[in-house]
Amino acid sequence: MSHPISRVRRRWRLAPILILAPSALGCRAASTGEPAAARTVSVVPMTADDILARCCETSEQAGSLTAAGRLHDARRPDAMDVPIRVDLTRDGRCRVQIGMDLVIVDGEKWWSHRPGSKRFRSHRCFSKTPVETAAALISDGALSLLPALFLRGADTFERDDHGAFVGWALEGVAWSGGRPCYLLERRERRRPPAGVYRLYVDQESWLIRRWTLAAAQPDDSERELLDVTLTDLAVGEQAPSDAFTLTPPRPLEAPEEVRSAAAY
The mean pLDDT value for 108-135 works out to: 89
Reported as a single tens digit per residue, the pLDDT across 227-256 is 999 989 989 887 777 888 998 899 998 776
Considering the domain boundaries, does residue 30 fall inside one? no
- Is residue 7 over pLDDT 70? no
User: Angle formed by the axes of helices 145-152 and 48-61, to 10°?
Assistant: 80
For the chain, the average pLDDT equals 81
Q: Is residue 184 part of a domain?
A: yes
Determine contact, residues 72/260, Cβ cutoff 8 Å: no
The sign of the CA dihedral 137, 141, 147, 151 is positive
Is residue 35 very low, low, confident or very high in pLDDT (cuts 50, 70, 90)? low
How far apart are the C-alpha atoms of 213 and 74, rounded to whole Å? 10
Nearest CA to 208 among 139, 157, 132?
157
Instruction: Give the count of alpha carbons within 13 A of 224, CB side only.
Output: 19
> Residue 100's domain spans which residues?
6-16+44-235
Q: What is the DSSP letter of 53?
A: H
Q: How many structural domains does the chain have?
A: 1
| Residue 32 within a domain | no
Write the CB contacts of 10 (distance below 8 Å, at least 6 apart in sequence): none
pTM of the model: 0.78
Within a domain: residue 21? no
Q: Which ranges in the chain belong to alpha helices (H)?
A: 6-12, 48-61, 130-139, 145-152
Q: What is the DSSP letter of 21?
A: -
Residue 34, pLDDT above cutoff 60 = no
Mean predicted confidence (pLDDT) in 198-216: 95
In a domain, 253, yes or no: no
Question: H-type helices in 84-198, by residue range?
Answer: 130-139, 145-152
User: Is 113 a member of any domain?
Assistant: yes
**Is the pLDDT assigned to residue 58 strictly greater than 90?**
yes
- CATH code of residue 133: 2.50.20.10
How much is the CA Rg of the chain, to the nearest whole Å?
20
Residue 192 lies in a domain: yes
Q: Is there a domain that residue 114 lies in?
A: yes
